[in-house]
Amino acid sequence: MLCGFIRRYEAMLDQRVDRLQRALSAQDHGDWMDAVLSLKTSSAMAGAQALSTLAARLQEDFAQRPPAPVHWPARERLAEIMETLRRLAAETARQLQLFVQQVAGAI
């Protein structure tokens, strides 16, 4: 069951990151918050603590604090954020694949 869950998480990881990219590009705060919460929660459940922690930090950074509007960073900073997120997601997927291989080999 564990390996199946991790495989499903890993298979959806790029989709979750792409959704964040679309929300940032559109500066859609509602979609951003929903997407980052999804990434944070699913990453925590999969044991991908570094990715979950980054998502939690991004969630907090972009949290809307009424009555102030959301202040989106400059495009260059948004690109840096997404590059960091994509790099960490790729490394997370690689590490999870290795874990699944080790677990499957031990059975």
The domain that contains 9 carries what CATH number? 1.20.120.160
Q: Model pTM greater than 0.75?
A: yes
Q: Tell me what percent of the residues of the chain surpass a pLDDT of 90.
A: 68
State the Cα–Cα distance between residues 87 and 70, nearest whole angstrom.
Answer: 26
69: left (phi over 0), alpha (psi -120 to 50) or beta: beta
pLDDT tens track for 38-66 = 999 999 999 999 999 999 999 988 887 66
Domain count across the chain: 1
Residue-number span of the structural domain to which 7 is assigned: 2-106
